[in-house]
Amino acid sequence: MSILETTSVVDTDGPSKNPAINEWVRDVALLTKPDRIVWCDGSTREWDELTKSMVAQGTLIRLNPEWRPNSFLARSDPADVARVEDRTFICSERREDAGPTNNWRSPFAMREELTTLFAGSMRGRTMYVVPFSMGPLGGPISQLGVQLTDSPYVVVSMQLMTRMGSAALDLIETDTPWVPALHSVGAPLVDADGTRHDDVAWPHNPTKYISHFPETREIWSFGSGYGGNALLGKKCFALRIASVMARDEGWLAEHMLIIKITSPEGRVHHVAAAFPSACGKTNLAMLNPSIPGWKVETIGDDIAWMRPGADGKLRAINPERGFFGVAPGTGITTNPTAVDTVWGNTIFTNVALRDDGDVWWEGLTPKAPAHLLDWQGEHWTPSSEGPAAHPNSRFTVTADQCPTIADDWDSPEGVVIDAILFGGRRPSTVPLVSQARDWAHGVFMGATMASETTAAAEGAVGRLRHDPFAMLPFCGYDVTDYFAHWLEIGETLGADAPPVFSVNWFRKDADGRFVWPGFSENSRVLEWIVRRVEGSVETVDTPIGQLPRLRDMNVEGLSLGYEELQGILSVDRAAWLREVDEIDAFFGEIGGERVPVELRRQLASLKANLR
Ligand code: GTP
Ligand code: SPV
Ligand code: MN
């Protein structure tokens, strides 16, 4: 960590080899007026100093080192607990480039507005310069960025979630592309007239802006300290800005997990899968197969950057260094791998605190402790009204602590993707698994995904909405152009394009219970998918795609009746005709004629086949 006082920084050269970075840091400091500037090096010492000072300040609670060494609990402000989609903007020069699914503002108007908000916004605080790499340092698919932030919580989180520090800064030469990512919680400690305030545990501002400038590849985030709003390498860079880079350069930036599957015969396959927020990516990424002989290893749990390689095959990297995983529902029976991963060196946000100084959340253990402090620090017992942990409470931890991490998880060239999965929370209609007839049909499956909303974003939970490719909140440009881009990637890949599947773990029965047991039992679906990739099982052709023959599904030892299985592996024509109407309306909403003709043709033939 190298520290500069603001007054001196104006005439001091920064440590970057890239003069544009030094200049930008200086300009932002002149605008935001922090007391000090700290260039972060990513060292253990830096982590220790920052966590220690946040404990002293009240932002972090040190957990009992006996149970959870070097780990901390953060309690956010109740008004800052998730991504804010209605405050997220794509500021392309032309409104139509942002498309109908994004909030749009003119970049000129937005910069002006943000400049006013950022003026003096860091008064009394430290501005941290956080250089980072998305993807392995120096890797051919990796990208560099620099985040400026006045939140030390963000700094330590970025240390876990990205390759952060001096090594990343050293890679940015004068001509190296890098993404500037400016962040302030918008809570200065000193007023313009010099009045100083005490700090609070979780500073934020009721006015929030998560703004992206795709043409100049910049991010400006104001007012929130939470997750995807504030850890700007993640959704803002690795998805919204990167999707624009990917469109321009012929690759894909996706909301996908990546796993490595080894069959009992020892054959290795890699699978990428897109599910909307809080719909099962981390869980599938860490899957512990219930069927003998199968092994699943983790490569990534949230984001995949994929591009056709020199061999013509689709290759993927996980651009992240860690996991920002949903805590509730993560337990010893559902995801023991995640439970093992967070043994220490972990930041927990908005979970409950046990009396013994460890953490707890709904689903960690079958039985809740008799007494806890809930996510807001209030006394909680099992008879209390609300949950002890916030539904979007999370753990932040590096990937290398995951016991199932694959040895090639950080391979700079990435892994060859053998199958792509799309899934969502669908209580009805969508079967457990089906295969697309070809790439174009697979793109149609991705484009027409819908899922129930979750606590990962502010707003109502459980509302079914279209979420194409699980990218609705993350695509940095017009979603119909994004569909066209996916179709073009298929042209490039040709016969090497991986097969595409639709999956749904969330079918419910008449009593509202999940029909499919999910979690480790999802390995049975992976087995069928691998058998399809290997070409060793046949399918049943239906209007919506190719479904498994029931006899090919491994249900040995599963307490699921034949009829229940048949129910989630068949096509309900009436429901699908309603689905067709929904898709029709959705295509109309996102621009009708702008939807690629191939996808409109797919919809027409689906409709015809159902009748
Ligand atoms: P983001 O980090 O928000 O992108 O979410 P994610 O897609 O990684 O979701 P995650 O795996 O964290 O799962 C979210 C919730 O879904 C958790 O509460 C899980 O327990 C639950 N879940 C995951 N897999 C399954 C499953 O197979 N069946 C059921 N019923 N629930 C599941
Ligand atoms: C999601 O909402 O999809 C997440 C959490 O993975 S956040 O980083 O907040 O976007
Ligand atoms: Mn996500």
Instruction: Say what the ipTM of the complex is.
Output: 0.99
What confidence tens digit (pLDDT) does each residue in 261-298 have?
A: 999 999 999 999 999 999 999 999 999 999 999 999 99
d(CA 314, CA 312): 7
Q: Is the CB of 279 under 6 A from ligand 1?
A: yes
Which atom of ligand 1 is nearest the CA belonging to 301?
Answer: 8
255 CA → ligand 3 middle, Å: 6
pLDDT given at position 14: 85
Q: Which residues of the chain have pLDDT under 50?
A: none
pLDDT given at position 561: 87
pTM listed for this prediction = 0.98
d(CA 58, CA 202): 9
Amino acid at position 499, single letter: P
Cα angle vertex 260, ends 558, 504, to 5°? 45
**Which of 557, 39, 608, 577 is closest to 290 using CA atoms?**
557
pLDDT given at position 53: 98
255 in a labelled binding site: yes
Q: Nearest ligand to the C-alpha of residue 161?
A: 2
Which atom of ligand 2 is nearest the CA belonging to 227?
Answer: 9
d(CA 481, CA 58): 46
Contact (Cβ atoms closer than 8 angstroms) between residue 537 and residue 524: no
Alpha carbon nearest to ligand 1 atom 20, residue: 329
164 C-beta neighbours (distance < 10 Å), count: 26
Q: Nearest ligand to the C-alpha of residue 254?
A: 3
226 in a labelled binding site: yes
253 CA → ligand 3 middle, Å: 13
Which atom of ligand 1 is nearest the CA belonging to 257?
Answer: 8
pLDDT given at position 11: 53
Alpha carbon nearest to ligand 2 atom 3, residue: 277
Alpha carbon nearest to ligand 1 atom 4, residue: 277
Contact (Cβ atoms closer than 8 angstroms) between residue 134 and residue 238: yes
Q: Which of the following is catalytic: 40, 91, 236, 279?
A: 279
Residue/partner pairs of 108-111 with CB below 8 Å, 24 or more apart: 110/209, 110/211, 110/213, 110/220, 111/213, 111/220
Q: Nearest ligand to the C-alpha of residue 82?
A: 2
Contact (Cβ atoms closer than 8 angstroms) between residue 90 and residue 213: no
Amino acid at position 268, single letter: V
Helix (H, G, I), strand (E, B) or coil at 604: helix
276 CA → ligand 3 middle, Å: 7
Q: Are strands 179-184 and 218-222 parallel, antiparallel or unpaired?
A: parallel
502 CA → ligand 2 middle, Å: 22
569 CA → ligand 2 middle, Å: 30
Burial (0-12, 13-18, 19+ Cβ within 10 Å), 597: exposed
281 in a labelled binding site: yes
Burial (0-12, 13-18, 19+ Cβ within 10 Å), 486: buried
pLDDT given at position 277: 97
Look-up of token digits 């892994």: 415
94 CA → ligand 1 middle, Å: 36
pLDDT given at position 607: 98
**DSSP H helix total and E strand total for the chain:** 17, 33
Alpha carbon nearest to ligand 1 atom 17, residue: 329
Helix (H, G, I), strand (E, B) or coil at 183: strand
Percent of the chain with pLDDT over 90: 97
Phi and psi, residue 274, nearest 5°:
-105, 120
What confidence tens digit (pLDDT) does each residue in 384-398 have?
A: 999 999 999 999 999
pLDDT given at position 7: 55
**Which of 27, 118, 91 is closest to 219 using CA atoms?**
91
Percent of the chain with pLDDT over 70: 98
Token digits of residue 267:
């054959």
pLDDT given at position 141: 95
Q: Nearest ligand to the C-alpha of residue 364?
A: 1
**Which of 126, 123, 120 is closest to 189 using CA atoms?**
123
- The reply to whether 40 belongs to the active site is no
pLDDT given at position 429: 98
Helix then strand then coil, % of the chain, to nearest 5 = 30, 25, 45
Mutate to test the pocket of ligand 1, among 282, 335, 337, 472 (most ligand atoms within 8 A of CB): 282
pLDDT given at position 567: 96
Alpha carbon nearest to ligand 2 atom 8, residue: 228
558 C-beta neighbours (distance < 10 Å), count: 16
Mutate to test the pocket of ligand 1, among 323, 326, 509 (most ligand atoms within 8 A of CB): 326
As for ligand 2, residues whose beta carbon falls within 6 Å of it are: 83, 227-228, 234-235, 277, 302, 324, 456
What sign for the dihedral angle of Cα 359, 365, 366, 369? negative
Residue count of the chain = 611
| Radius of gyration over every alpha carbon of the chain, rounded to an integer in angstroms | 24
